[in-house]
Chains A and B, each alone.
Chain A
């Protein structure tokens, strides 16, 4: 089939693209005392999310997942790097243009308490994006849209007039989901969106996200610690460790042929109610690395079982690049000097 140039562009152009994204924070100094230090939260990340695609982001607590998600929407300013949304350089947009773009890109925050205005009722919270972007304006239209959204996340009409503190933790989380979906975004950063939900409600939300993707071609960056849900929901997965992506690829490939020792440890630690399914757990010894002072070479080497047995100098001195290892059909990008089927 021949494609005109514009169509071809749409096909090849990812919806979201980040290149070499860096985010550093300052900590210490001033009133708190102690030396002023730099937190290397995100340390050179490149990724793409296609239209209608779900990219899952997994990795160690504190490895920079939420920071990366907020950078992608420019909710915080990256220290450096390139950022494109629908082909437009996001970092070039003026505040008014950015506000416009926000209708099409939304976030479900990891922390519902911190992100829901305690003085607003549920109805106002979910309607806020509709108000800001002047959507669903007819009389009664806004309330209808809000009740529909609440129903889709499993909250009854009785919720409309209640304040955030009058909900349970999982109910608050679902309020955040309803609000993020209200304006009809094309890209949603979903930061641990189902972490407070029981398996049945989780299933309801996951099915809702998949339905929206099938119907409207939504794209997701899905940050999650739940590796079982990631396997079901995502097309591709990226594994983060200390501010960097250490392995990425199609979900089935990464799960079945994990090549990075950190990914393997992670996959081995999923708790299971079925004792037979509890695989041999790889325990990570040693201190977790500090983003104030990332280890030289491979950031994982102080805890890496491969380094512990081989003591390869390169692990300690040379930072491994994220490049495809030669694993035949299962080849996908990994940042490890010793990645490979034999490792």
Chain B
């Protein structure tokens, strides 16, 4: 547990340009990830999960979106400072990324097989033909039927879930030590999803691959991850071992999220249709961060100090559970 982490992110700040100002969309984010471990990253839509992920490999639309400060230690180097050629050595080879939206990441005029095999051409020196053959095998692993023939298809000829699986296959091509997967199973039915999660689990056990898994599906987090971090408005507000977080959420936002999830799961009367529980209110717009805690306006536990002081991210007495709240539950 005390080994040097594979990935260590410290006080990461990533800004986006709004008008003439750079405003932080990822703010003071720190976490560690050990080899073979899986960390789940959850939080409200727009809270900065994808920007955090893309910051790790600096896949940002610079200069409008950029890492403004902080450290990203991965295999002995700080990627926040690394020059572009060095990053290219890491991307897709040591650390690979599954993007949230496959159609934004896939090239529409290149066949699926050529794209999935590309990392092997670039990083492992495989010929075009060898890479295509390897791609067919990878597509089979992610459950694409008739992979040899479907590898000749273009992205628009794939269903949403097939594109997603093609991207997973591409990310796994070079057997990375860290897989950053941004909502990798949103377009998959639960049986195929279970197969993909099983495949990732096997790579973790057999090759010690670490996994940063962004998802809104708390069931997937519970079944897949060792630890979980909850983000709200650009900041990590709670982090803990998975079981502990589900057993006792300490941040009121996490508690709201879990309670929304439980009403979804709870059995209902009559024909089964019912109103779902929302967390009342809305998140402050980007660049409109209040003076204190960003959740204060929606929080049932907020006191006067919550509107003045930004809470720090502190460990609770047991040491493994961290929370950013002045009045944790």
Contact = CB atoms under 8 A, between A and B. Distances in A.
Interface of A: 25, 27-28, 32-34, 37, 39, 58-62, 65-67, 110-114, 154, 156, 158, 165-172, 174, 192, 195-204, 206-207, 210, 225, 227-229, 231-233, 235, 250-252, 265-266, 269-275, 277-278, 281, 283-284, 287-293
A156 B282 contact: yes
A196 B186 contact: yes
A192 to B, nearest CB: 7
Contacts of A111: 101, 103, 160
B252 interface: no
Interface in B142-188: 143-146, 149-150, 152-154, 157-162, 165, 182-183, 186-188
- Among B111, B264, B277, the one with the most A-chain Cβ atoms within 10 Å of its Cβ is B264
A251 B272 contact: yes
B107 interface: no
Contacts of B150: 27, 290, 292
Contacts, number: 206
Interface in B252-283: 256-257, 260-261, 263-265, 268, 271-279, 282
A156 B283 CA distance: 9
Contacts of A112: 101
Nearest to B157: A27
B278 A60 contact: no
Nearest to A67: B159
Given A60-B192, A158-B288, 14 more contacts: A27-B157, A169-B45, A169-B50, A169-B183, A171-B45, A196-B186, A197-B45, A198-B45, A199-B260, A203-B277, A207-B276, A225-B161, A225-B187, A266-B190
Contacts of A58: 189
A302 to B, nearest CB: 11
A61 B102 CA distance: 15
A291 B145 contact: yes
A5 B271 CA distance: 30
7 contacts: A111-B101, A199-B218, A203-B264, A232-B273, A271-B193, A272-B223, A290-B149
A199 B216 contact: yes
Interface string B243-255: 0001000000000
B257 A200 contact: yes
Given A203-B260, A271-B219, A61 B149 contact: no
A199 B257 contact: yes
Contact of A273 (B50, B165, B218, B276): B218
Given A169-B50, A271-B219, A273-B218, A202 B157 contact: no
A252 B271 contact: yes
A174 B45 CA distance: 10
Given A62-B145, A273-B219, A293-B146, A199 B264 contact: yes
A26 to B, nearest CB: 9
B78 interface: no
Contacts of A198: 42-45, 216, 257
A34 B150 CA distance: 10
Contact of B46 (A27, A170, A278): A170
Contacts of A284: 191
B1 interface: no
A32 B182 CA distance: 31
Contacts of B275: 207, 210
B159 A269 contact: no
A37 B276 CA distance: 45
Contact of B194 (A62, A233, A275, A281): A281
Nearest to B19: A161
B149 A28 contact: yes
A184 to B, nearest CB: 23
Given A62-B162, A196-B45, A272 B194 contact: no
Contacts of A156: 282, 285
